[in-house]
Homo-oligomer: A and B are copies of this chain.
């Protein structure tokens, strides 16, 4: 139970999403821009001549996803739905139009049936205008035992980065599709929830997590979890997350990986750093080489408490793409 229900900065709950999008564009006018559709934003320089366009999309509530990843060598356009609701057909269609520089568009979607359905219709509409759009679906959440049921999760951030770099490096649409599919096959995520989120439009949580417990395998919408257990220590929580991933994607001393710990909203960076420290210790003890790591709030679930662990298995090509310079509001390349 939340006492602090709606201790939030809101004008009108019905315009919460639009108000936030408008504020974001006002803040970053040299990075992002509005399009003909209010729920589609684009990188200011899109469409970028000479490269395949890159589009992602999904429901609201995952700040800084999706709009924080628009930028140079990153996403060209994003389609934005209502809170935890798929983007409309129109929003996807406008994203494809905004991203296409004549070389086609790759659309990256999480594995949610309604998102895919809307994107599929928009792809057909775009085809009528001779815009070639391919879709690659990501299903990194290992909480679901059946692989076809697995949802897209924080791993989308790695996928966007890799695909953005591929486009910037002149990959054609076929090669983009191919490297994105390989990346998807190499990314796994798992979430742990410590407190539910409040839906700003209703002022209420959409489910409950009892105090003193944690939800293993909680989804980004909180609608499914694999198991409920007593709240564990940071190290034990990290161990649980890591073993869920390693059971699905074994790693050994020949493996190179990228690791991301993302907060779900209301979990402090300090805590996320502690989780990372444990993941680092366990992986390096196994001889796994961590080539890139990130801790932050990269893909949230409104104000949920909890964290996700994402691991991406790397080969020479995907490592190079992951480390290629990319500039977005919420994902910058700080290496020299």
| Interface 0/1 of A44-65, CB less than 8 Å to B | 0000000000000000110110
CB-CB < 8 A to A278: which residues of B?
23
| Closest B residue, CB atoms, query A10 | B234
Whole-angstrom CA separation of A134 from B233 in the bound complex: 42
Determine, out of A99-107, A150-158, A292-300, the stretch whose residues face the partner at the interface.
Answer: A292-300
Contact of B307 with A9 in the complex, beta carbons under 8 Å: yes
CB-CB < 8 A to A294: which residues of B?
27
| Closest B residue, CB atoms, query A29 | B293
CB-CB < 8 A to A26: which residues of B?
276-277, 280-281, 293
Contact of A23 with B303 in the complex, beta carbons under 8 Å: no
CB-CB < 8 A to A300: which residues of B?
268-269
Min CB distance A335 to B, Å, is 6
- Residues of A293-336 at the interface with B, using a CB-CB cut-off of 8 Å, are 293-297, 300, 302-303, 305, 307, 327-330, 332-336
Q: Tell me if A273 counts as interface (CB < 8 A to partner B).
A: yes
Contact of B265 with A265 in the complex, beta carbons under 8 Å: no
Min CB distance A14 to B, Å, is 13
Contact of A23 with B277 in the complex, beta carbons under 8 Å: yes
CB-CB < 8 A to A4: which residues of B?
2, 194-195, 211, 305
CB-CB < 8 A to A247: which residues of B?
none
Given contact pairs A19-B274, A27-B276, A295-B24, A8 touches B303 in the complex (Cβ within 8 A): no
Q: Tell me if A235 counts as interface (CB < 8 A to partner B).
A: yes
Given contact pairs A211-B7, A235-B11, A27 touches B273 in the complex (Cβ within 8 A): yes
Which of A5, A26, A194, A300 has its CB near the most chain B CB atoms (within 10 A)?
A26
| Interface 0/1 of A213-236, CB less than 8 Å to B | 010000000000000000101110
Given contact pairs A7-B195, A195-B4, A280-B27, A20 touches B271 in the complex (Cβ within 8 A): yes
Q: Tell me if A207 counts as interface (CB < 8 A to partner B).
A: no
Whole-angstrom CA separation of A237 from B68 in the bound complex: 24
Contact of A11 with B234 in the complex, beta carbons under 8 Å: yes
CB-CB < 8 A to A268: which residues of B?
8, 63, 200, 265, 300, 302-303
Contact of B335 with A332 in the complex, beta carbons under 8 Å: no
Contact of B72 with A20 in the complex, beta carbons under 8 Å: no
Min CB distance A302 to B, Å, is 6
Whole-angstrom CA separation of A220 from B7 in the bound complex: 18
CB-CB < 8 A to A295: which residues of B?
23-24, 27
Contact of B336 with A275 in the complex, beta carbons under 8 Å: no
| Closest B residue, CB atoms, query A192 | B9
Ordered by A's residue number, 30 sampled pairs between the chains whose C-beta atoms are within 8 Å are A4-B195, A7-B195, A7-B209, A7-B211, A8-B194, A8-B271, A9-B272, A9-B275, A10-B234, A11-B233, A11-B234, A16-B270, A16-B274, A17-B270, A19-B234, A20-B273, A22-B277, A24-B273, A26-B277, A26-B293, A27-B276, A31-B335, A63-B270, A71-B334, A200-B270, A268-B300, A269-B297, A297-B297, A329-B334, A332-B332
